[in-house]
Amino acid sequence: MGTTPEMLEKFRTKAKAVSATVVEISSMAQAIAYTVDLCISKDACQLLMSGCEESLSDKGKDLCELKEWNKIIAAPRLSDADMAELVAQARDRQVAVIKDGLRNHLAGIDIGFTVADHGIAETGTLVLDSSSEELRLATMISEIHVCVIHTSRIHPSAESMYGQLKTYMNTKPNYLAFVTGASRTADIERVLALGVHGPLELHILILEDN
């Protein structure tokens, strides 16, 4: 059973409802171009790591100064061909691409670029096998997380994909992430704020592959 247009529409609606940006693309090359463009066009204030423009304690500032002031895209688990494409496109625009060593960039990276393993239409959720520590960090310490999802990988609900989910859980060890929108909090006066610990923005690129 493939992904129906209704499921796709639901996925899109639900993801947007949690402030994700949802874009249709037709190829990985296009996804990569989108990501590099996004990195270039990032707001000047976001050139600084989010938070570094605020008044911080001396300890807090230390980490900000560690940041190298050129822009970085982290793409830990891309296929060789896609990685080559990303590096080629990024090099022309003076954007650095890394695939490992993310612990050296805890202060933050501009974009984490990933490909989702599955999507859940009911809640607009991305499912990422995050057993690789580099992948985990790329989706946590980046200011923007850009994630490609193939339409064929979208399921109606978590309940409709028990088999797949259990396969991950039985592949020990495993770290499986459901990601629904950007990192958020409402802990101060119940006012919504995005990007409290993880990404400030989530961009979902839907790649038609049916």
Residue 3 CB, nearest distance to other proteins (Å)?
19
Helix axes 28-41, 80-92, angle to 10 degrees: 40
Among 23, 63, 96, 98, binds other proteins (CB under 8 A): 63
* CA dist list (Å): 65 to 52, 69, 72, 106: 9, 9, 15, 11
Contact window for other proteins (CB under 8 A) among 21-29, 69-77, 111-119, 166-174: 166-174
Contact between 181 and 16 (Cβ < 8 Å):
no
Tokens of 74: 């982290």
Strand 21-25, strand 201-207: pairing: parallel
- Distance (Å, rounded) from C-alpha 98 to C-alpha 179? 22
Instruction: Examine residue 104 and tell whether it contacts other proteins (CB under 8 A).
Output: no
Collapsing DSSP to helix, strand or coil, 209 comes out as coil
Residues 6+ apart with CB under 8 A from 6: none
Instruction: Examine residue 108 and tell whether it contacts other proteins (CB under 8 A).
Output: yes
* CA dist list (Å): 191 to 35, 181, 186: 30, 16, 5
Residue (31 or 161) nearer to other proteins, CB: 161
Instruction: Examine residue 149 and tell whether it contacts other proteins (CB under 8 A).
Output: no
Among 5, 41, 55, 94, binds other proteins (CB under 8 A): 55
Contact window for other proteins (CB under 8 A) among 21-29, 31-39, 83-91, 185-193: 185-193
Instruction: Examine residue 196 and tell whether it contacts other proteins (CB under 8 A).
Output: yes
Instruction: Examine residue 197 and tell whether it contacts other proteins (CB under 8 A).
Output: yes
Instruction: Examine residue 186 and tell whether it contacts other proteins (CB under 8 A).
Output: yes
Site residues, other proteins (CB under 8 A):
14, 17-18, 49-57, 59-60, 62-64, 103, 106-108, 122-125, 131-133, 136-137, 140-141, 158-159, 162, 165-166, 168-191, 193, 195-199
